[in-house]
Structure formats: structure tokens, C-alpha cells
Amino acid sequence: MLEHSSLSDDLKQEICQTAWTALGQDQPQLAAEALRDYAEFTSSEIELAEVWAAMLAWIDDLDHLEREVRRLAQKWANKARVVEQLVRAILKAWSRLPGVQAPASRDSLIGLAVDLLDFCLEEAPPSKPQDRASLFILRARLLLEAGPLGDERALSDYEIALSLCPEDADAWFLLSRHHLFMGRWEKAIRACLEAKNYGFDLLKVSWNLAVASTALLPMTLERAPNLKNLWQDAKNEQFLEEAYTDKKGRLMALGLERIRVSLHSHMIRKGGGWMLVDDEDWVSETVLVQPLSPCHGRILHPCQSEQVADFDDLILWDPQPVHFVELDGQQLPVMRALAVLEQGDAVVRAYPQIRLTEEMLIQFNNALPEGVFFYQGPQTEFTLEAHGKLCWPRTLSAQTVINAVEKQWLALNLDSKA
């Protein structure tokens, strides 16, 4: 191992340049090789600490990542350039977690990153407005991971950042995304239009605007662009070839390929608002959906867990996948549900019963009134011994359905056959 005194400025520059180049080419292993023999200098040389912090973004072991973040923070928590790289590393690692995550807790990596930014902004804020704004934006992004409970503070951070740099297109777009995830469709549109005015990427802007506009219709905003034009800018010409306008002004097309959407406890309920839950109450479930557009459609089967949405409900999702599942050798995207747009035409209620064989299930459902069926999904953590959902059209009364179901259950003697 080299002694501290043997690290010349030229060598330090060469090491950092090699590592930054490797990271810029998405080759963290090459960066690690360049830095491996100089780990001890990350406690004394800020240039090495900064690039080392950036390299942490490729670590999937969250425990290892936390240890490294805490090690560097002991020395550099008052240096914004290092803190920024540490926070970006945490955000990048967090974004790779599969599925829709429960709101980050206070003692999570997200909480640690917030603490780092709190300390840096209070004790040693950068002198340049754009550098301070960058830290406020990072903290707002972290607070989004805390769910609705972090919302108010995140909005305050965006307000401060945009007061420092009002023409920051990235900040306006991230604010738009924040509003989108919180179900504030009008504000999402306005912030996204500001991002567009300051030159943000048209494709990303158009997607965000299309999702928010689909949620908002049939209401309109004075400055809101035409939905058809948005889908054109978002490169969805094939969808537009078959699309028509429904009674609420949404563009829709039949026959689109089914997709998978992750429902979760913080979906926006019809009429607004979330279910504020802690980690133990958090539930997510992936369901098959029949899309009517690239961002909204109807759920094709009942849920096995208790969710805000269920079979036949019209839901909205963010078209950026949260993870992928492998099926028949293909990697299929899973989208994050955002909101319930409309209640479906079916009533869905839990109906705890023993698990039926496929033959028994067909026999039972064939004996029920038209439109009524008992659903049992694949065996999962939700489908234990007592499980199942009963579904029927809203035109039928609940008592009529229950009477018919119980009569057929007894008539077919299912309890003794199962």
C-alpha cells in the first residue's frame, strides 16, 4: 500500500480521470480497478472521495453501500460535492429495487441520505445558487420515496430550488413528476409545461403531459395541449391509428396487448387521497390489465390482496417500468399504478373458501347466474387455505348473488369433494 506522502497531484489526477471516464462509460469495474489501491486516500483527498462516492451507485448490496456512505460521511459530510455523489448513489441503488417499494422509513438508506443533506445545507451550504438548488432538488427526490408523508417538505424544497434557479428545466420536470405521483394532475401539467418552455426533452415532457391529461379529462386547462398531439410527440403513432375519443375525451383503442401493472397501497383513490400506511400494512400486487391507451386501462381479474382498485376498475399508470418479469424467455415490463380513474361495472368481494381444483371451479362457476363467478388466483402468499373473490354485475343485488352462490355450493357438495 502506498504511503500518503507518495500520492502526487499528477497521480491523483490520473487516477480520478481514469475512474470518471470508466463510470461515464458505465464500466464501474474499471473504475474500481483504478481506485482499488487508493481506498485509504478517500479519507484525505476530496477528489478521490468524490469519484469513490460516485462509484457506489453501482453497488447492489445495500448493507455494503450504507457502510461506505457512513464511512465517507464521517469525513466529508460538510463537503457538498461528496455529499451530492453519495446521495445520487443511494437514489440510483434504491431505484433498482424490484417492484413498487413501501415508503422509505426514517432509518432506511433514504433517511440517511436526507440526514446528510440536512447537515450539509445547514452547516456548509454551497456558495453558488445552482449548487444549493441541486441539493434541495436531491432532497425532494428522496422525500418522494417516503410517500405522502414526505410530500409537503419535498414541495418546499422544490420551491426553494426554483427560486434559486427559476429556469432549471430539470427541476421543473422533476416537480411535475412529483405532482404526478401525488395525483395533482393540473399542477403536474403546469410544471411540465414550464419544463418544456425551458427546453426539457420533448419526448419525456409529452409522456408526462399525456398521463396527467388522461387523468384530468373531461376537465381541461387553458394552457393544456391537445392529447392527440401529445401522443404524437410521445412517438405513439401506431396507437393513434386505431384510437378514438371516448365520452370523457380520453383517447382509447381496443385490442392493445395486455400488460402488467403493480397495484399498491398508495394508489390515488377515486376522488383523491391515499391510504396512509406503515411498512406492516403496505401491500403491492401485480395484475394483468387490458390497456385502452399507453397509460390507462381495465384490470382483467380480481386481486388476491386488499387493494384500492380491483377487477374491471379503470386505472392509470406511469409508463416507466418499475421492474421486469421473465415469461417464456422474454423480459416483460411491470408498470406502477398511479390512480383509480373509474369504478368498474363489477362488484368484487372477498369470499373465503377452500381452494378448488380447476375442474371443481369450472363446475361451480357454470352453475352460477350469468356474470357471477368465483375467482381464485395462483397460489401465493395471499392465497392460503381460505381465499377467493366473488364477482357479480352491479345490476344484481348482493343478497341475490349470495343466496345463489351458497345454494350452488351446497348443491354441488364441494366441501366434501375438496
Q: What is the pLDDT of residues 243-268, one digit of tens each?
A: 999 998 899 999 999 999 999 999 99
- Asked if the model's pLDDT at residue 17 lies above 80, the reply is yes
- CA 45-48-50 angle, to 5 degrees, is 105
Bridge-partner residues for 339, per DSSP?
268, 316
Q: Which residue has the cell 372477498?
A: 350
Question: What's the whole-number mean pLDDT along residues 161-169?
Answer: 98
Q: For residue 225, what is the DSSP state?
A: P
Residue 336 has φ and ψ, to the nearest 5°, of: -95, 120
Q: Do the beta carbons of residue 45 and residue 6 sit within 8 Å?
A: no
- The set of residues, in sequence order, having a beta carbon less than 8 Å from that of 156 and lying 6+ positions away, is none
Q: Which residues is 316 bridged to in the sheet?
A: 296, 339
Amino acid residing at 48: L
Taking 60 as the threshold, does the pLDDT of residue 159 lie above it?
yes
Q: Residue 4: pLDDT band by 50, 70, 90 thresholds?
A: very low
d(CA 234, CA 211) in angstroms, rounded, equals 11
Angle between helix 129-144 and 151-164 (nearest 10): 160
Q: What is the pTM of this model?
A: 0.91
pLDDT score recorded for residue 306: 85
Residue 28: CB partners within 8 Å, gap ≥ 6? Answer: 22, 55, 57, 58
**Phi, then psi, of 371 in degrees rounded to 5:** 90, -10
Q: Is the pLDDT of residue 377 over 90?
A: no
Give residue 304's pLDDT: 85
Q: Over 80: is that where the pLDDT of 144 sits?
A: yes
pLDDT tier for residue 403 given thresholds of 50, 70 and 90: very high
pLDDT of residue 69: 98
- Bridge-based pairing of strands 330-342 and 259-264 is parallel
pLDDT band for position 379 (cuts 50, 70, 90): confident
Under the banding of pLDDT at 50, 70 and 90, the label for residue 218 is confident
Are the beta carbons of 225 and 202 closer than 8 angstroms?
Answer: no
Q: Is the pLDDT of residue 324 over 50?
A: yes
What is the average pLDDT score of the chain? 92
The architecture in CATH of the region 346-417 reads 2-Layer Sandwich (3.30)
Percent of the chain with pLDDT over 90: 78
Average pLDDT over residues 274-284: 73
In one-letter notation, the amino acid at residue 407 is K
Sequence ranges of the domains in the chain: 167-250, 259-342, 346-417
CA distances in angstroms from 260 to 23, 94, 287, listed in the order given: 33, 21, 6
